[in-house]
Structure 1
Amino acid sequence: MQIAQPNLTDALVTLPRMPPWVTSARVETLEDVPFLSGAALATLHLVVGCDDVPHALLRDRLSLTASEACMHMLGRPERAGDIRDAVHLLRPGDQPGPAGAIYLQWQQATARPISVGTLQRALPSVTAEQIAAWLDTGRGGPVMRAATVLEAVLTAHPREEVMALILADAVLAQSLGWTHVLPLLATGLKSRDLRKRGTDLELACHKALVSSIGATLPIASDLTRRVAHLRAVIPKLRAKGAADAVALFLTKDALSPTIALTDPTAGVGRTGRTSMSDRAARRLCDRLVDLGVVRELTGRDTFRLYGV
């Protein structure tokens, strides 16, 4: 079967950009800030509906960003590289540390369409009934509903900031008609914002969305461009299992060639497809780096991780 080649030019130019006046404005009132966050959300909504965007990869990248933000909120030192290692170097049966556990929560919350079951897999400490009640909490627009849920969860569970942020982003996405959670509030809010209540918290959520969406749109554009180039080199790959490996790169922020591409209980092996040998996986990753479509993310000689 002949593989249709993506139109790289289209992938580079079709994604909407944030209007400059959204991020340049310096307004502080609850009357003005929602206008800016609404414009930002409307721009992102167009991106969410664009087929060229690698949505699974974008969600995984934002899950990493949200995890790093949560670590900062909790006063922990782990940053993106540490968090990647904590999850992507796990062997079957290993347990992640605190940073890895939070990253896995975000991955579980964003990987599948929004539902009570999806969220309970990410948040096993609360019941499905409680999650359903929170998803139905609040009235008004998407941001008002998200702020209401954020406040409700933090009031009931003051030390569960990660759970509150996941549920708030879930309610925001659900209110906007999106099928999946997209970490936005988690990447824009500060720890001091989580102590606010009422209209102060709602205002903080609007400001956070302007900031986080402003950062998300360039990431979406960059990943769309990179994925288009990655898809274009598939016909040049002759290694057995290369197409399956590339499919993983289209959905994961990072992969270990010696774990995700070789372990029959991880990565492609879970779909029943043939896993690669350790040597073949490392050679494939080096080949993709040489072709300029994948990057080595760690700078290490061993325990390397690769991503688009």
Structure 2
Amino acid sequence: MDAAFLAGAGLAALDSIVRANPPWAGAWRQRLALAAAAASARMAGRREDEASLRDAWCLRRPDQDPGPAGRMLGAWRRLARSRGVSELIGEAAAAFGLPAAEGVLEMVTIQGLAKSDRPALVAAAAAAALVMAGRPEREILGLFIADAVLAQRLRWPVAVPLLAGQILHPALKSGGNGRRPRPGDSDWLRSSNLAFARAAAQACDLASELARRAEKLQAVAPKLRAKGAGAVIGAILNDDALTASRIGGMSDRALRRLFDRLVTLGAVRELSGRETFRLYGL
């Protein structure tokens, strides 16, 4: 089946979720951001997986640098809250280990692609190729900008991290040496379409999973008597993972009790598998 058709069908299904903006959409986008950051770390030759990235981000002090891989995650998290391209590119370049000015020269052309009448998938692929343009160190930035351009072309209220999370999938490798697709390849448009198709399908599956979990969380909400429980539920619905600290004006001890009760009720999962420094989310 045609790659563009598959991608278009996937994005059409995704479009309804993005525009509906359900209560759990924040957690959904941030979990997709985590997947994109883990893929970015692999592309950069780093060893951090989703669990270690989550730890680096959630367990740091408020003023602490999360480290190189954590900064990558921070960039993808900002994309998942953003509505435009220009506000992101400098910070994203720095997060991906590039000078902050990287990509600025191409910004006018990138904005033109985002506002053009070209099909969204074509514009996104072209933006990634433009940013990379023979500069392999810019590959992650190119994938990042592709997601931002796609969102702007589709007039989504907020961007969704998609392309990076699937570009490493074995099904997309080609040639005798199993080379993964890269922006600027002769068949890049087809490869990016297939990656977007896979990404959209995975994002829709994740949305269905989180919708069920959020429904359970909201169903148990009336049983929670702790002051500040409403703020905690709102925080859970808006992020990938939380620590039992600094939410809703509650003490850390009260938060731990509340999270443990939510886990017991099956409304929240403990994500770290640890007895200490625990993390909670949908």
Give the TM-score normalised by the residue count of structure 1. Answer: 0.79
Deviation, structure 1 residue 129: 6.9
Q: Which residue does 1:24 correspond to in 2? A: none
1:233 to 210, 220, 238: 220
Note the C-alpha offset of 1:73.
Answer: 1.7
Partner of 2:278: 304
CA positional deviation for 1:222? 0.7
Instruction: State the one-letter code of the partner of 2:233.
Output: V
* Matching residue within 286, 292, 299 for 2:260: 286
Evaluate the alpha carbon distance shift between residue 239 and residue 46 of structure 1 in structure 2; reply closer, same or farther with a 3 A threshold: same
Q: CA contact under 8 A between 1:256 and 1:304: conserved in structure 2? A: yes
| 1:197 equivalenced with 2:185 (yes/no) | yes
Distance 1:116 1:205, change over 3 A: same
Shift of 1:216: 1.3
1:38 aligns with 2:8: yes
- Whether the aligned pair in 1 keeps the contact of 2:35 and 2:50 (CA below 8 Å) is yes
The Cα of 1:98 is off from its aligned counterpart by 1.7
CA contact (8 A) 2:133 2:184 kept: no
Structure 2 SS opposite 1:250: helix
Superposition deviation, residue 158 in structure 1: 2.9
Going from structure 1 to structure 2, the CA distance change for 1:156 and 1:179 (only over 3 Å counts) comes to farther
Q: Do the aligned partners of residues 110 and 290 (structure 1) sit closer, same or farther apart at CA in structure 2, a change above 3 Å counting?
A: same
Distance 2:203 2:213 in 1: 15
In structure 1, the residue matched to 2:173 is none
2:172 matched to which residue of 1? none
- Give 1:67 shift: 0.7
Contact 2:3 2:194 in 1 (8 A): yes
Q: Name which of 142, 145, 153 aligns with 2:120.
A: 142
Report the count of equivalent residues. 264
Once the 2 structures are TM-superposed, how far is the Cα of residue 194 of structure 1 from its aligned partner?
Answer: 1.5
Q: Of the candidates 39, 57, 64, which is equivalent to residue 69 of structure 1? A: 39
Give the counterpart letter for 1:201 in structure 2. W
- The question of 1:102 aligning with 2:90 is answered no
Q: Distance in 2 between matches of 1:297 and 1:64?
A: 13
**Aligned partner of 1:186: which letter?**
A
Alpha-carbon distance between aligned partners in 2 of 1:202 and 1:130, rounded to the nearest angstrom: 19
> What is the distance in 1 between the residues matched to 2:276 and 2:264?
18
State the distance in 2 between where 1:69 and 1:238 align: 40
Work out whether residues 132 and 184 of structure 2, in 8 Å CA contact, stay in contact via their aligned partners in 1.
no
Give the drift of 1:130: 4.8
CA contact (8 A) 2:23 2:237 kept: no
Deviation at 1:135, TM superposition (A): 2.6
Deviation at 1:240, TM superposition (A): 1.8
Provide the C-alpha distance between the structure 2 equivalents of 1:189 and 1:122, rounded to a whole number of angstroms. Answer: 19
Q: Which runs of 5+ in 1 are unaligned?
A: 1-26, 263-267, 269-273
User: Is this contact kept in 2: 1:135–1:167, CA < 8 A?
Assistant: no
Looking at structure 1, the residues matched to 144 and 108 of structure 2 have their Cα atoms a distance apart, in angstroms, of 14
Residues 122 and 241 (structure 1 numbering): CA distance in 2 closer, same or farther, change over 3 Å? farther
Q: Which amino acid aligns with 1:192?
A: R
Q: Which residue of 2 aligns with 1:23?
A: none
Distance 1:279 1:48, change over 3 A: same
| Alignment TM-score, normalising by the size of structure 2 | 0.86
Q: Deviations over 1:81-120 (max 9, x none)?
A: 0010010001022111221110001001211332522554
Q: Which amino acid in structure 2 is aligned with residue 249 of structure 1?
A: I
1:151 maps to 129
Deviates more, 1:148-157 or 1:172-181: 148-157
Tell me the equivalent position of 1:252.
239
Deviation of 1:163 (Å): 1.7
Q: Unmatched 5+ residue regions in structure 2? A: 95-99, 169-178
**2:190 counterpart letter in structure 1:** L
Instruction: Give 1:133 shift.
Output: 3.8
CA offsets 1:52-96 (integer angstroms, 9 cap, x no match): 462211110100010111122222211110010010001022111
Match of 2:195 in 1: 208
Whether 2:54 is the aligned partner of 1:84: answer: yes
Mapped partners of 2:192, 2:85: distance in 1? 23
Residue among 160, 163, 177 paired with 2:155: 177
